[in-house]
Amino acid sequence: MAKMTVRDLDVKGKKVIVRVDFNVPIKEGKIKDDNRIVQALPTINYLVEHGAKVILMSHLGKVDHKDPEKKAADMAKNNMAPVAARLAELVNTNVSFVDQTQGELLEVAVAKLKEGDIVLMQNTRYEKGESKNDAELAKYWASLADLFVTDAFGSVHRAHSSTVGVAEYLPSALGFLVEKEVEMLTAAVYNPKRPFVAILGGAKVSDKIAVIENLLKIADKVLIGGGMAYTFVKAQGKEIGKSLVEEDRIDLAKEFLAVAGNKLVLPVDHLVADAFAETANTMVVDDDHIPADYMGLDIGPKTIELFKNELQGAQTVIWNGPMGVFEMKPFATGTLEVCKAISELPGAMTVIGGGDSAAAAIQLGFKDKFSHISTGGGASLEFMEGKELPGIAIIQEK
């Protein structure tokens, strides 16, 4: 059954709590990338235009509640004040910031809200009970409002007070961002046009075991690059030098190789370096000749061509994880070329599953060349594993 969306709610004059994902990178009080704020604007603007009284809540970073010194430092570092200032520049209405997650200041600010106004409250993780889905905390937050909207796709895989708890006490709906995420990922993973090619990269096999398992069942091809490829290369009995490896996952990689046959496609050559540094000495070697004192930091040119060939004719592509250490220019070529190849596929549905691959695509200038770039790394991974996401499951059915 379909979930309620913000369009299904009568919001005029109502107090609406919106769980947004404003977990943006902040350095010395300045926001480095406001993409997550921008992504929430369609839902926020819709509510403002339809006369809702909008209460925004989000987490920002982590807060260590066990150590008082660390807690104070984390709270200072992860204050939502710069986010409120940026949001005020992006919307055409009053935005007030409340430096509280509970208490009189917050309650007064909410009571004073006029139709179309916004209150952004302090970081939900200032509350110890937030990540434990504390029922009393959720009940308190729910008491501030009439309705609940979830628009934080990056957090719907976590059962927290602000993502799941509040929705137990209020009529609830999906915001436009989460609605789009669910539609696009469902179409790509569970109803793909074929051929369906999945590309997985990143550092660790252990992060993506369940994803590999699920995609091997449903994709036509699964291409593997990045640091995680070396656990598979070693599982084939080849030398990998000082490349990243998860020794405790080699037997699992062998199992995947045995089950998958030619469905699983691994790199055939590598750009290797004698140090993890931009200034390292590098060379391109094939699979059988990684020197003992070198490490693989990107896929090689033959692999780039192999992956491009596997992508030819694909109608659905999901990509999660870079092909190398793309943050360092000498090792960004594999990620760039794969990104470019996916973006140029005619008529294909192309989806990036958040995280580093989304950052890479945006950084490399491909933001508008994909059907969908997910805003949630962990959430999109769990979706690709076939898991139910608690922050979506709790939302009312139509």
Q: Reply yes or no on whether 378 is catalytic.
A: yes
- Choosing from 175, 321, 334, 355, which is the catalytic residue? 355
The residue from 3, 14, 19, 36 that is catalytic is 36
Other CB atoms closer than 10 Å to residue 308's CB: what's the count? Answer: 15
Encode 356-365: b = buried (16+ Cβ within 10 Å), e = exposed.
Answer: bbbbbbbbbe
Tell me, yes or no, if 241 is annotated catalytic: no
Residue 309 is which amino acid?
N
Q: Specify whether the CB–CB gap between 144 and 110 falls below 8 A.
A: yes
Amino acid making up residue 368: D
Sequence-distant (≥ 6) Cβ neighbours of residue 111 within 8 angstroms: none
Catalytic residue, chosen from 77, 132, 204, 367, is 204
Catalytic, 355? Answer yes
Distance CA 100, CA 109 (A): 11
226 belongs to the catalytic site: no
User: What is the number of other CB atoms lying within 10 angstroms of the CB of residue 277?
Assistant: 12
Closest CA to 130 of 104, 103, 108, 102: 102
Nearest to 23 by CA among 41, 35, 14: 35
Residue indicated by tokens 């750009």: 271
CB-neighbour burial class of residue 6 (10 A; exposed 0-12, middle 13-18, buried 19+): buried
DSSP string, 215-282: HHHH-SEEEE-STTHHHHHHHTT---TT----GGGHHHHHHHHHHHGGGEE--SEEEEESSSSTTS-E
Q: What dihedral do alpha carbons 238, 241, 246, 248 form, nearest 10°?
A: 60
* Catalytic site residue from 367, 369, 378, 386: 378
Provide the strand spans (E) within 106-235.
118-121, 147-150, 172-174, 196-200, 221-224
Extract the tokens encoding 18. Answer: 């919106």
* Catalytically annotated residues: 36, 204, 355, 378
